[in-house]
Amino acid sequence: MITEMIEALQAGKQLENSAGWKNAQATANAIAAIIAAGVSGLSLFGVHLPITHEQIVTLGSAGAVLLGLFNSYTTAATTKSVGLPPKSAPDSEP
């Protein structure tokens, strides 16, 4: 499974269930937006989380990085027209 996930990053190849991966990508984006809005909106109702502003920013940044990596991977792995160049054959000359 891991090998197929890595090979899917090469141009001209893609994961078998592209629709499922694209749905997962859309779901992850929606969940991230809901969490961000929820955490931001809690203070409007007088609910304050027991963490500092800096910790919230750090967690938000980490989440954005992970989501960005997931989005980049799913875009490349589910589309045949984008991706890494194919592996080149090693030179046979000494």
Distance in angstroms (rounded) separating the CA atoms of residues 14 and 16: 6
The token pair at 4 is: 């197929």
Distance in angstroms (rounded) separating the CA atoms of residues 18 and 74: 9
The token pair at 69 is: 């990596």
Distance in angstroms (rounded) separating the CA atoms of residues 90 and 88: 6
Per the listing, tokens 């080149």 go with 88
Report helix, strand or coil for 5: helix
pTM score: 0.66
Q: Each residue's pLDDT tens digit in the chain (94 positions)?
A: 678 878 888 878 888 888 888 899 999 889 988 888 888 788 788 888 888 878 888 888 898 999 999 999 988 888 888 887 877 655 555 5
Annotated domain spans of the chain: 12-77
Residue 91 has a pLDDT of: 55
